[in-house]
Amino acid sequence: MPPAPLRTRFAPSPTGDLHLGGLLCALVSFALARASGGAFVLRMEDLDAPRVVEGSAARIEADLARLGLAWDEPAPDGRGAHAPYTQSARGALYEAALATLGELTYPCDCSRSELLAASAPHAGEERVYPGTCRDKDPARAMRRPPARRLRVPEGSVVEVVDLAAGPLRQDVGREVGDFVLRRGDGVFSYQLACALDDHAMAIDLVVRGRDLLASTPRQRLLGRLLGARRPPRTLHLPLLVNAAGER
Ligand code: GLU
């Protein structure tokens, strides 16, 4: 039986040049799309404007093209059935997603130092937001431009079988807590933008580095809450390290 055509994507952040880990993800995405007769999508994740390096999106595209990793969407003029493919041009969609989530979101005016003081590092890396602002009056006077967090519903347990990393189970409320959808400076979070775009662009398979595995349950949960039909499968590749074990 021929494989079902897969829509895959490569979603680099143009914060520097294409590195080896990115290239590996692009190559695997490209190959799986081609081998299945599907489509390979290139999406620029340039929301974090202060970190964007001018010219790097164009250099990443040029490197992919030079290596023969031709993408099907967007077309050279930027068009395509799911345009725009650059996140900074998709703000209205993220805004609409926040509106859809409505009461499931709330403003948080905790400062960085308050967050650090209040949240113990969990499982080595993630800090669990303790819900400081969850039950405060959302109409109160804010001490700073507030972030917007997801009120993670009780019992949001997500089970995933990653095609490379295997089964994963996360109780998002307990292990992550109410996470940020839009930062205080107005930047939409990676979790929101990525979850929304993977669904909106009808991606079947997400290929990326193992460092993003722990984001998968948050993105699945958001997809579910936003009414997405079917979550994309995921394949998290091992990180490339040198002989000293460094990335
Ligand atoms: N833009 C993210 C990065 O370059 C990757 C996002 C993803 O593949 O989900 O780290």
pLDDT of residue 119: 75
Nearest CA owner, ligand 1 atom 7: 11
Greater confidence, 228 or 93?
93
Mean local confidence (pLDDT), 187-206 = 98
At residue 214, does pLDDT exceed 90?
yes
Ligand 1 site-directed mutation target among 43, 51, 194, most atoms within 8 Å of CB: 194
Alpha-carbon gap, residue 55 to 45, rounded angstroms: 14
Of 83, 135, 81, give the one whose Cα is nearest residue 108.
135
pLDDT of residue 239: 87
* Cβ(143)–Cβ(151) below 8 Å: no
At residue 1, does pLDDT exceed 80?
no
Mean local confidence (pLDDT), 97-104 = 97
Atom of ligand 1 nearest to the CA of 219: 9
Count Cβ atoms within 10 A of the Cβ of residue 99 and give its class: 0-12 exposed, 13-18 middle, 19 or more buried: exposed
Atom of ligand 1 nearest to the CA of 10: 8
Query: 101 CA distance to ligand 1 centroid (A)?
Result: 23
pLDDT of residue 240: 83
Alpha-carbon gap, residue 146 to 186, rounded angstroms: 9
Query: 74 CA distance to ligand 1 centroid (A)?
Result: 18
Indicate the range of 109-118, 137-146, 151-160, 173-182 predicted with least confidence.
109-118
Of 49, 51, 57, give the one whose Cα is nearest residue 10.
57
Indicate the range of 1-5, 38-42, 149-153 predicted with least confidence.
1-5
Q: Please write the tens of the pLDDT for every residue from 112-145.
A: 999 988 876 655 567 899 999 999 999 999 999 9
Greater confidence, 118 or 167?
167
pLDDT of residue 122: 57
Mean local confidence (pLDDT), 75-103 = 97
Indicate the range of 39-48, 72-81, 201-210, 238-247 predicted with least confidence.
238-247
Mean of pLDDT over the chain: 95
SS3 readout for the chain: CCCCCCEEEECCCCCCCCCHHHHHHHHHHHHHHHHHCCEEEECECCCCHHHCCCCHHHHHHHHHHHCCCCCCECCCCCCCCCCCCEHHHCHHHHHHHHHHHHHHEEEECCCHHHHHHHCCEECCCEECECCCCCCCCCCCCCCCCCEEEECCCCCCEEEEEECCCEEEEEEHHHHCECCEEECCCCCECHHHHHHHHHHHCCCCEEEEEHHHHHHHHHHHHHHHHCCCCCCCEEEEECCCCCCCCCC
pLDDT of residue 217: 98
Of 213, 125, 209, give the one whose Cα is nearest residue 162.
213
For residue 97, the one-letter residue type is A
Alpha-carbon gap, residue 180 to 192, rounded angstroms: 8
For residue 129, the one-letter residue type is Y
Residues 6+ apart with CB under 8 A from 201: 7, 9, 41, 43, 73, 82, 85
pLDDT of residue 123: 52
